Amino acid sequence: MVSIVPNNIQIEDDRTGIDIETLKRAFLDNLFYIQAKFPRIATKNDYYMALAYTVRDRLLNRWLRTTQTYLEKAPRTVAYLSAEFLLGPHLGNNLINLGLYNVVKQAMEELGLNLTDLLEQEEEPGLGNGGLGRLAACYIDSLATLEIPAIGYGIRYQFGIFDQEIKDGWQVEITDLWLQYGNPWEVARPEAALEVKFGGRTEVYTDEHGRYRIRWVPFKVMKGVPYDTPILGFQTNTANTLRLWKAEAPESFDFEAFNKGDYFGAVHAKSECENITKVLYPNDESHQGKQLRLEQQYFFVSCSLQDMIRIMQIQNLTLERFHEHYAIQLNDTHPTIGVAELMRLLLDEYGFEWDRAWNITTRTFAYTNHTLLPEALERWPLAMFASLLPRHLEIIYEINCRFLDEVRIKFPDDGDRLRRMSIIDESGERYVRMANLACVGSFAINGVAELHSELLKQTTLHDFYEMYPEKFTNVTNGVTPRRFMLLSNPRLANLITNKIGDGWIKRLDELRKLEDFVHDANFRHDFRQVKQAVKQDLADHIRTHYSIDVNPNSLFDIQAKRIHEYKRQHLNALYIVTLYNRLKADPDLDITPRTFLFGGKAAPGYYMAKLMIKLINSIADVVNNDPDVRDRIKVVFLKDYNVKFAQRVYPAADLSEQISTAGKEASGTGNMKFSMNGALTIGTLDGANIEIREAVGVDNFFLFGLTAEEVLAKKASGYNPWDYYNSNPELKLVIDRLASGFFSHGDPNLFKPLLDSLLYRDEYLLLADYQSYVECQERVSQAYRDSDYWTRMSILNVARMGKFSSDRSIQDYLQHIWKAPAVKVDVPEYTQSHS
């Protein structure tokens, strides 16, 4: 046993005490000694920082005890490798998990400060694009809450996802400066930096035992510095680590260049090195073969694997047992170079024989696929790959050669199959196919919802399914109820806890107890009031920031997610225009008042998505200002949708738009966050919608549209969008109005690319689903008119969402893939979790 951290650290009371007086003193102390400010000159950010440090002080003991426990007990550990962690603000979440929310709120009040204001001050770490990155964040939350030894590995981007502004209806991207005022939640560990090699060549040499070995002679070497962030579990002593790598120049750099006398060149080259972790690629669900992106992937994966080996060495464990000590989850193919890197480390650096190394590697990795979209599948041009990672390419060739031999034996005389399954795409320009490498190098492969996992087996990964059926499994996504209910919707959380106790926060299935209260008119009344109050908050926000008055009694109909054609925000827009046209034709038409809210970012290079934003804003301009509408419909595009703002949005929805073309949305997770906050879903049979509908009951879900199977059949039989345009007068009027320039100050060309894409191709079958969607929206409007009936459905949605906790997802991963038992962390009485 090694004892890295002494057991008897003495900690000053001001850094651990959680009574109000101590908290206040500690807060002012941090303001003075860390921010170097006193209250009269402190900015709001100074106060935020002082509070963040005060809270951080109170979790450090748990964090160090957890680290120490893992080092000493050397338990099986989950390593979650992800190029993205879309964390959202830390302060509120840590207050909740420490059980300090109320007492800190009180302490701040006594100092004349408002906790909500201070929480607003936090610049969130937006180190992800959307679903995939946010899922990683939910999973590390659940891993800590379930007391599983785990570490998240990723990239410390200096600039995360861009901030979005809207100018003249168009998206404008602004650099995300999340680190500009410092990050109180991270601890740099320069002493634990590692080196990563790039480029160059390989050479053969004979080692001291006369064995042929291969050595990689790199073109350049980079340094990876880890920055650690504690990830607290909810009401546990476990605080796991999120370790994000920053690229720097190695010290040796100065040395060489200074010797050559090229001072400026040396400094320049040094800052070039930092480029690797400068910025997050903002493309959701699309792959561009950019070299810097491959450099990012290899950089963080190499650092992480070397780090894992180093930890085993501290623990005196032999690398022979690497796969027993670690289960490495690949969050999509982005970290898949890890398969080749672990092989390289074992073969070249630690002298393993091929078979032994391959055995360890393929018992270590598991791969999660997040998308079926062909444009998202990662492939790297061979020449680029070879110049950056020459040794890895050799290893991949060897893996491929042995793998194709296996395929040949199982499926003789099937050249097409070999070509499809090869890790190297040789059909034209040559590429390395990362999904193929992930499938060959992993012992488990999973999709993220039942339908998605089935489609993977039948389509994208069909050959691999036939080769290795035993590797395939499904783990339906989930989301953390700590952030997306307790923190984001305290009114609802309190109402629930008052009725059924607080067990639901850790065992979300207990929400089912709420079903009993569906019949309780008082409860329905209280439930409705909660929703009303939250909607009022959002309405206030909209009035303040957009100078638009929205009616909090209207139906809040929200679509918040990345902007993408397959997600069909423009189908929603077509419906808005439909309603508008009806009102224009009959200004006295009795319709259910609605507020249409949109939020989401478009990839900066995705023209159609940006045009969809412009379309929504243009429709909003006309609809919101037309006196004939008489405020019965309002449209608002909420700018800069991020985790912090999402937390205000989910609770305020009456209706959640989950309207992707069936077969395209792998799972969706926003769908879960809306539903557990009482929104009803209008949705297609896509992704996890299917399972949500099953869970909440088909009567409490608004279903429309083609099924995935019907979508394929329709396309196969020659889909022609004009048929729908010509046969549906209401649809025709919508398209014609958009094409006429009515919504674009008379410019008939503005939306032409979008309309042409609908009329001449309509890859995502908007026109085919239009009528079904409109009719379904009519059912929604009718249902909303009976507010008591609506409330019953809404309550049942909340009550039946237990399955969609990320705790359940993590338990599925543990049971079927990781097999890593929980480990209790002991913390002396005086700092134990207070609930």
Contact set with ligand 475 (CB under 6 A): 129-132, 135, 283-285, 287, 370-371, 376, 448, 477, 665-669, 687
Residues whose CB is less than 8 angstroms from the CB of residue 33 and which lie 6 or more positions away in sequence, other chains included: none
Measure Cα distances from 713 to 455, 706, 716, 719, 768 in Å.
15, 10, 5, 9, 12
At residue 117, what is the residue type? D
Q: How far is the CB of 449 from ligand 475 (least distance, A)?
A: 7
Cβ of residue 563: shortest distance to ligand 475, in angstroms? 13
Report the C-alpha gap between 278 and 178 in whole angstroms. Answer: 12
* Residue 519 tokens, joined: 């019949």
Q: Which helix (H) or strand (E) holds 330?
A: strand 326-331
Q: Which of 517, 795, 537 is nearest to 677 (CA)?
A: 795
Radius of gyration of the chain (CA): 28
Nearer to ligand 475 among residue 135 and residue 577 (C-beta): 135
Least distance from ligand 475 to the Cβ atom of residue 825, Å: 29
Residue closer to ligand 475 by CB (options 453, 477) is 477
Residue closer to ligand 475 (CB basis): 13 or 375: 375
Minimum CB separation of residue 373 from ligand 475 in Å reads: 8
Nearer to ligand 475, 37 or 370 (CB): 370
End-to-end CA distance of the chain: 33
Place of tokens 């080769």: 467
Of the pair 248, 284, the CB lying nearest ligand 475 is at 284
CB-nearer residue toward ligand 475: 149 or 154: 154
Contact, 439 vs 406, CB < 8 A? Answer: no
Please give the Cα distance from 794 to 674 (Å, whole number).
11
Q: Are 307 and 402 in contact (CB under 8 A)?
A: no
User: Quick one: 130 or 335, whose CB is closer to ligand 475?
Assistant: 130
Quickly list H helices, 484-520: 490-500
Q: Which residues contact 762 (CB under 8 A, 6 or more apart)?
A: 719, 721, 768
| Interacting residues of 707 by C-beta distance below 8 A, sequence separation 6+ | 662, 685
Q: Which residues contact 486 (CB under 8 A, 6 or more apart)?
A: 96, 493, 505
Q: How far is the CB of 145 from ligand 475 (least distance, A)?
A: 19
Smallest gap, in angstroms, from Cβ of residue 710 to ligand 475? 20
Calpha distance 393→730 (Å, rounded): 57
In angstroms, the Cα distances linking 212 to 197, 200, 209, 340, 349 are: 22, 20, 9, 19, 13
Amino acid found at 144: A
Using Cβ positions, the residue closest to ligand 475 within the complex turns out to be 131
Listed in sequence order, the residues at least 6 apart from 416 whose beta carbon sits closer than 8 Å to its beta carbon are none
Residues assigned a catalytic role: 370, 561-562, 567, 669, 673
Using alpha carbons, select from 311, 260, 456 the residue that is nearest to residue 370: 456
Cα 377–657–609 angle (5° rounding)? 50
Which H/E stretch holds residue 584?
helix 569-585
Smallest gap from Cβ 264 to ligand 475, in A, equals: 36
Q: Are 84 and 132 in contact (CB under 8 A)?
A: yes
Please, what is the minimum distance in Å from the beta carbon of residue 4 to ligand 475? 36
Least separation in angstroms between CB 335 and ligand 475: 12
Which residue's CB is nearer to ligand 475, number 524 or number 601?
601
Q: Cα–Cα distance between 777 and 793 in angstroms, integer?
A: 16
The residue count of the chain comes to: 835
Question: What does the block give as tokens for 18?
Answer: 């959680």
Closest CB to ligand 475 among 63 and 701? 701
The H-or-E segment that residue 21 falls in is helix 20-33
Query: Least distance (Å) from ligand 475 to the CB of residue 59?
Result: 28
Token pair belonging to 169: 């209806």
CB of 153 to ligand 475, least distance (A): 17
Is 448 or 496 the residue whose CB approaches ligand 475 more closely? 448
Paired tokens of 165: 């502004």
How far apart CA 342 and CA 362 sit, in angstroms, is 10
Compare residues 49 and 135 and give the one whose CB is closer to ligand 475: 135
- Inter-residue contact 571 to 766 (CB < 8 Å): yes
| Residues in Cβ contact with 527 at an 8 Å cutoff, skipping those fewer than 6 apart | 495, 678, 791, 794, 795
At its nearest, how many Å lie between ligand 475 and the CB of residue 683?
13
- SS3 for 182? coil
Angle made by CA atoms 357, 360, 362, in degrees to the nearest 5 = 105
- Residue 183 or 658: the one with the smaller Cβ distance to ligand 475 is 658
240: β partners: 231
